[in-house]
Amino acid sequence: MYSKNHLLNLNIEKFEGPEKKLDIILFSPCSDLRSNRDGKWQKVVNSSGSRILSSISTDDLDAYLLSESSLFVWNNRILMITCGRTSLINALPEILNLVDRTRVAIVFYERKKSNFPQEQPFSFKDEVRRLTRLFPGKSYRLGSANHDHVHVFFWAHPDAKPEKNMTLQLLMHDLDPFFMTSFCAEGKRAMDLDVKFSAFEKFFPLTERDSHFFSPYGYSLNGLSKSNYLTVHITPQSNGSYASFETNIIQDDYSPLIKEIIDMVKPEKFSLILSTCMERDTPRFHATLAGGMANHWITEKSQYDFDCGYRVTFLSDLEALDLRHPSRGGS
């Protein structure tokens, strides 16, 4: 049996896989928001310490694949995700140069617990201080302080109405070492990574796909279908292996999709976040997810109702009983 140390050299540069996320929703569509003829989105991305590598589009949405994660732009929404040592908070003033603050209905900022917090340019506390100067929102922590958790800042204008949407996130740590070799220069690069992830299309066909293999380590994928997106980011380094999956494509039951991803990645532990507006039929999605998953321990379960009719369900420290440690499952 090969160890992680055998498959991946431990003497590699640390990379912060867990992401930061900024989600801004406007009161109404802005006709020129998506246009990038003047390079405005390059300027936004560069301000965070990242850069644009490529882009894809549908009639409703533009997706930019970044050197550190992804940017998605609709006519009425901006979603930016960054990892590594980026300063996502620095992108907010640049965005507000494009969109007047009076047009902003909702601001959502999320930051996963860092693997290497001492190497981050700002703490979440610093970021909240900067956010509240512009938007007097509230900060929350999803999950317990001494375990895996996610920090959240939320602000909604008093006149804001919730978007009819749903977002699922899978945040996965300590990936299977054999899986990780597919994303390293010394691994089986001949394997078609896009084929590996084409399994998602049995759940929702994509019209546009954009992927990038980073040298020597890492992988990112953006996929689009009309106004919907999915994004995958993989950090395979053994000193902090991490993968994330996020989509706003609505499914009646996410369990088969989640199982497909977990069976592929085989993380030692992972967290789930489901965010929705609170319409009449959405509580059942949260109830299904909160019911747990077969063959997994759930050590943290939280549900939060934010202002303006949003609900978030958070499940943390899920450990597989049958994937990599089958002996745990008996008693």
pLDDT in tens, 43-79: 999 999 999 999 999 999 999 999 999 999 999 999 9
pLDDT for 104 beyond 90: yes
Active site residue 233: yes
How many residues belong to the chain?
331
Amino acid at 10: L
Lowest mean pLDDT among 45-49, 179-183, 257-261, 303-307: 179-183
Q: How far apart are the first and last CA of the chain?
A: 25
Question: Tokens for 304?
Answer: 């939060």
Q: Which of 47, 69, 114, 275 is catalytic?
A: 69
Mark out the alpha helices in 99-217 (DSSP H runs).
124-134, 177-180, 193-197
Active site residue 16: yes
Q: By the 8 A CB rule, do 303 and 289 touch?
A: no
Distance of alpha carbon 20 from alpha carbon 125, whole angstroms: 13
Q: Which of 30, 47, 70, 83 is catalytic?
A: 83
What is the three-class DSSP state of 201? helix
Asked if residue 216 has a cis previous peptide bond (ω within 30° of 0), the answer is yes
Active site residue 69: yes
Question: Tokens for 51?
Answer: 């850069």
Question: Tokens for 295?
Answer: 């063959």
CATH homologous superfamily of 4-329: S-adenosylmethionine decarboxylase (3.60.90.10)
Amino acid at 125: K
- Mean of the pLDDT values across residues 25-31? 96
Strand partners, 108: 23, 154
Question: Tokens for 108?
Answer: 């959502």
Q: By the 8 A CB rule, do 169 and 243 touch?
A: no
The alpha carbon of residue 249 and the mean position of all alpha carbons in its chain are separated, in whole angstroms, by 14
192 pLDDT tier (thresholds 50, 70, 90)? low
Q: Which of 114, 220, 244, 316 is catalytic?
A: 220
Q: Which of 163, 233, 246, 319 is catalytic?
A: 233
Active site residue 19: yes
**What single string gives the DSSP state of each residue in 280-301?**
TTTHHHHHHHHT--TTEE--EE
The pTM of the full predicted model, rounded to 2 decimals, is: 0.90
Specify the residue for token string 């990379």. 15
pLDDT for 247 beyond 60: yes
Q: Exposed, middle or buried, 145 (CB in 10 Å: 0-12/13-18/19+)?
A: exposed
Percent of the chain with pLDDT over 70: 85
